[in-house]
Amino acid sequence: MDQQPQTSPIFALDSVTQIDERCEGLVLITASHGGLYSGYLAARGKVRAALFNDAGVGLDEAGIAGLAYLERLGIPAAAVHHSSCRIGDVRDMVDRGLVSHANEPARQLGCVPGLKVRDCAMRMVAALMFAEDAPPPAQETRVLLRDGAGGPNVWGLDSASLVLPEDAGHIVVTGSHGGLIGGDPALAIKADVLAAVFNDAGVGIDRAGITRLPALNARGIAAATVGHLSARIGDGRSMWETGRLSFANQRAAEAGAQRGMPVPEFCERVLAAARKG
């Protein structure tokens, strides 16, 4: 969902990575997690205020870290409970979402836990605009976690939006949630990777936080999620260092994925299975 009348003070996107000049000066409703980089993208997009999914809050409250980031800039921000609407699906968020957390600028506008998304967004319309030209950086990262020495590499990505065409045939460990963007299987991942790991974002209502897994299985891609309390959502390094598998698709299970398995071990099993053909 990304089309609203030009006169509306509110704009809705399935993913904050889709933000562009259309959102400037408006209240943004996005079905992305409310992590640090999501907050940065919202500020960089010069939104008036923003609403996210709390992704189960998770380890170190990473699922709502963007709210504190935006509070420091004076930008109202809130997150909705992951069990009230589907992460990655902004239509469902608008229809069913209920606020779970709000930063101080949002609370001053009357945005409180239990409030419906539509009502919260309308209260945010009264917010003053963020004045700074450029927000403090919160750069998304892409790091080589395992050099395949000519074989498949393992890449750590803070967001699945960083997947490149040349990642085909390699493993990507992403900080993104495991939900389909807008419920569209075609958007599960941008390249035919060997395997992919996501954060389950607390799984949430309709098991939305793991809906990429069957979509990727249909493409022959081994995919798994880690528990949201085992690694920080939006942080590829954290996924690698502390993430423990929570769910896996059939392809991943055939490669040896097991619940509770550390991410590096899962990647090694996928690589071993690939070597065996």
Q: What is the pLDDT of residues 140-179, one digit of tens each?
A: 689 999 998 889 999 999 999 999 999 999 999 999 999 9
- Give the chain's radius of gyration (CA, Å): 18
What residues contact residue 143 under an 8 Å CB cut-off, 6+ apart? 155, 156, 236, 237
- pLDDT at 140 (0 to 100): 66
212, 91 in Cβ contact below 8 A?
no
Between 130 and 236, whose confidence is greater?
A: 236
Lowest mean pLDDT among 35-49, 90-104, 135-149: 135-149
State residue 194 phi and psi, 5-degree precision: -70, -40
pLDDT tens digits along 221-245: 999 999 999 999 999 999 999 999 9
Percentage of the residues of the chain whose pLDDT score is greater than 90: 89
**pTM for this entry:** 0.93
How far does the chain reach from its first CA to its final CA, in angstroms?
Answer: 40
